[in-house]
Amino acid sequence: MPTITPIKPQKDIGAGFRPEIQGLRAIAIAVVLLFHLWPNRITGGFVGVDVFFVISGYLITGHLFKELLQTGKIRLGRFWSRRIRRLLPLSFTVLIFSFITMLLLMPGTTWSTNIRHIVASTLYVENWALAFDAVDYLAQTDEGNMVTHYWSLSIEEQFYVFLPLILLAAVFLATMRAKHNTVNYRTVALTVLTIVGVVSLAISVIFTAQNQAEAYFVTPTRMWEFVVGGVIALLGVQIHGKLGNTLGWLGVTMILAAAFLFDGNSPFPGYIALLPVLGAGLLLCCGSDKPGTGVYWWASTKPAQWLGDWSYAVYLWHWPLIVLAQYRLDEFLWHHKVVVLVLSLLLGWASKHLIEDPARFAPKLQGTKPSLAMMLAGMVVISGSVLLIPSQIIAQENTPQLSQEDRCYASGALTNNCEPLEGTSGPYPNPATAMAQNRDFSFMECQAAVDANENPDCVLGEDGNEPANAVIIGDSHATAWLPVIDQLGKDHGLRVKTFTRSGCTPIDLERSSTGNAGKEADICTEHVKDAFKFVEEHDEIKYVFFAASPVDRPYVGPDGERDEKHGVNRLVQVFKELEASGKEVVAFEEVPRFGEKVPVCLEAHPDDPMACTRSVKNAFKTNSFITEAMKQNPAGVASVSVRDQICDDEKCYPVLGTVMTYRDGSHLTELFVESLYPVVEQRLRDQGVFPATKD
């Protein structure tokens, strides 16, 4: 028969220390580390993070509950200061390392991404930054984030703030209701944690089904994993003997099964996260110390203890090393990975003894005020340095060398046959600045996010309180044209309301996509319908501009079949209807599409920018709805094509007249768009959209 005995309240290192928990940490860090190094072998190794969450819930809940039983209160300052001394010194050290190596060893095109995420990690909101990226259309251009792994640490820190507060609130409310009766703290704590856990699990299941990419990072979908550990601590039982050992090994099997069977397509976290989470829970409360067969015996061996002791440090160090290796090596081969693995372990060992433990027990950091002061000082210094220093470096490298009035400036170099086409200096903006425009663009506030329900209230062009007399409808490529649209409005009395949305081609047909893509497709269709309805209901609208990215996107036609031709036919129909209603329709044809991100390529070939050219044949492989619609020559519709300003008969160019043409693989840089204004305006004059001669 199995024996069931109470678990002793958890303490720090010393009496009551359970070595098997270090062994569980070792399993967790092992699967995470191997997953990041060999993602095609251990496809679900990301579940190691969930094991860490269960352990944290178990230990922290046990610690807080013990204090609650002994004193009837929780000293928040003391609790938080201990967490600060335990976690932040090494966390800040790795962030500083990541920042310095970014400046010295990482390409400038990765700086913008790293700056945002290092600051978010310093403030322990990295999980929310990544969740935002997961639904941010332009986040697809992010590369080389050296601190992605801080998302799990951010959730843990948020849990450390949340848990004691909710326990105190629950105890306070229970005491108020009980009045003079005794309050059972265990029952109160179990009740509130169970409620939190059930709600969190429900959110996780629902949210994962709707938007798995975002659900992976947000705190509410993960809180139940901590609760599982917390409930086990509060129940205070451990099963020994054969049954306990069998259940313990079952827990290990569940964790490893998830690590090897799950992959990036698994609907995680959701309900399938129950497999590794409950596996970790079983190992916490079930096992045996019997030599040779006992799961706790194996978890207590020296190698497991060492790896468990170093797990926090190894977790912090391994990811920046992987990112650096991938960027500095032509190929990240198996022997390179072994070196990274060994370095991670060595740094983990050294950090444990030289940073973690000394900082944790440093006399000058003991107490709430010194700990909080250290935290705030670290956050301010790191965030300030990360935000200021790179911008100063980039600004020094970003001085334009060619006058805008020069005949060889920007596309003038191509149309005037200047040599060399790229100019003798530049490019301007430099690759890092160009890449950053994906997030820092002058008119980004006028563009709706891919999943936003509302359209921004944005009117460009001529100032005044009069209603809009023009609209622009399209996706992020339409947003890229807004500098030209704004200037056209100022020069020709237009007040242009924007209907631009990420990833939304201006076609009001069903796409029949599924999952999260289907939700976004439906939002897009409704957005375009709203734009068309707005134009129809407002007689004062005289100009309608269209612009979009070339995309391979089938639409559902009247016959119920999905085909790209339905999108083209619908656009032609819309153009004709608008023209018949007296509107002036202007269609910006799609620009060439580079396969590789231009700034990344240019930074890799600083002395040979023409190595980044794109053949015309390849630049127009993707379907272009607007261009194809214009081939049907809908009467009265003006067309703007700038293909000849970017490409000749054979090639499309990444740099022209010292100006970089693209900020990624398909969006023009803001500076290049501005340089095209005279060309665009003249071509619209030539087609009668505006007076043939300037005033």
Could you give the domains of the chain?
Answer: 4-388 (no CATH), 443-589+624-641 (3.40.50)
Render pLDDT for 540-561 as a digit per residue (tens, 0 to 9): 999 999 999 998 888 888 877 8
Q: Given a cut of 50, is residue 226 above it in pLDDT? A: yes
470-474 and 495-501 beta bridge pairing: parallel
Question: Given this model, what pLDDT does residue 495 score?
Answer: 96
pLDDT band at 499 (very low <50, low <70, confident <90, very high): very high
Q: Given a cut of 50, is residue 115 above it in pLDDT? A: yes
Which residues have CB under 8 Å from 633's CB, separation 6+? Answer: none
Render pLDDT for 598-612 as a digit per residue (tens, 0 to 9): 999 998 888 899 999
Which residues have CB under 8 Å from 434's CB, separation 6+? Answer: 598, 599, 660, 662, 663, 669
When pLDDT is averaged across residues 33-48 and rounded to a whole number, the result is 96
Q: Which residues pair with 474 in a beta bridge?
A: 500, 547
When pLDDT is averaged across residues 157-186 and rounded to a whole number, the result is 85
More confident residue, 514 or 382: 382
pLDDT band at 622 (very low <50, low <70, confident <90, very high): confident
Question: Given this model, what pLDDT does residue 465 score?
Answer: 78
Question: Given this model, what pLDDT does residue 633 score?
Answer: 81
Task: Yes or no: say if 145 and 36 are a contact pair by the CB < 8 Å rule.
Answer: no
Question: Given this model, what pLDDT does residue 12 score?
Answer: 36
Question: Given this model, what pLDDT does residue 7 score?
Answer: 34
> Nearest to residue 231, comparing CAs of 179, 163, 146?
163
User: Which of 85-94, 170-179, 381-390, 452-461 has the weakest average pLDDT?
Assistant: 170-179
Render pLDDT for 392-422 as a digit per residue (tens, 0 to 9): 887 776 666 688 889 999 999 999 999 999 9
pLDDT band at 9 (very low <50, low <70, confident <90, very high): very low
> Nearest to residue 225, comparing CAs of 452, 48, 382, 23?
48
Residue 683: Cβ-neighbour burial (10 angstroms; 0-12, 13-18, 19+): middle
pLDDT band at 46 (very low <50, low <70, confident <90, very high): very high
Question: Given this model, what pLDDT does residue 14 score?
Answer: 32
The overall average pLDDT reported for the chain is 90
Render pLDDT for 267-289 as a digit per residue (tens, 0 to 9): 999 999 999 999 999 999 999 99
> Nearest to residue 289, comparing CAs of 605, 20, 42, 669?
20
pLDDT band at 13 (very low <50, low <70, confident <90, very high): very low
pLDDT band at 2 (very low <50, low <70, confident <90, very high): very low
Question: Given this model, what pLDDT does residue 595 score?
Answer: 80
